Amino acid sequence: MSREIVFDTETTGFDYAKDDRLVEIGAVELVNHVPTGKVYHQYINPERDVPEDVVKIHGLTYDFLKDYPTFEKIADEWLDFVGDGVLVAHNATFDMNFVNYELKQAGRPEISWDRCVDTLEMAREMFPGARCSLDALCKRFEIDNSARTFHGALLDAQLLSEVYLELLGGKEPTLLLDTNKKDNKTKLSDNVHQYREPRVFDTEDDLEKNHQEFLAKYVKNPLWGI
C-alpha cells in the first residue's frame, strides 16, 4: 500500500530563520494515488504578529489566530496523521523547512527529506519554461480553482492533490471513468460502436484490371488475395 500526504502551509512570512512561523496546515491523504477522504486541517497560533502584506495573501490575522493552539500542542497529532507516509508539496523546500523548524522547536523528530516529493520540480521537468504555479497548473489541467480567493492550506492541498495525480498521468490514464470532470462528456457506453453493413464501392473495369495486373507482377502471395 502506497500512502501519501499532500499538504500545504501558510506562514507569517518567508523565512523561518527570522522568526516567521506557521499559521495553518492543510493535508489530504492518498492511498495508492486515490483520495481517501481523510484530511487534516489546523490553524496555529504563531505567538507573534502577522504582517499586513502577508494577511493580504492568506487572510489570517493574529487576532483570528490567537485563540488557536500553538504548534507544540498540535505537533503530535500532525505527526500521527503523517505517519510513515510520503509527503507531497508544491515548492516543498519552503513547506518542509517550516514544518521541520517547528518540529525541532517543539522537541519532536524532524521529517526526513527523502520522504518528500516536490510537485514544483515535477511540473518544471514536465513543462520546461512554462509557468508552474498552482494556479497555472490548475488552469493547464482544467481543475476548478474558482474558490481560491485567498491562499488557504486545506483548499490548496486539495487542489494540489488533483494536480499531483495529473502530473503522474491522470487518475484514469487509460479509461474515461471520471464523470465529474466538466470536459468529460464521453461515457464508456458512448464508445461502443454499432455494427454497420460493409459499404460496397463500385470501380471502373480498367482500374480493377490494372490493380490485378500490378498484384500479379509485383506482389507474391498477397494477403488480400487476387
Give the residue numbers marked as catalytic: 151
- CA 25 to CA 16: how far, in whole Å? 15
**DSSP states of 177-202:** --TTSTT----GGGGPPPP-PPP---
Which three cell numbers mark 93?
Answer: 523546500
Helix extents (H) in the chain: 52-58, 62-65, 71-82, 92-105, 119-126, 134-140, 153-167, 205-218
Give ∠ CA 137-141-145 in degrees, rounded to 5. 65
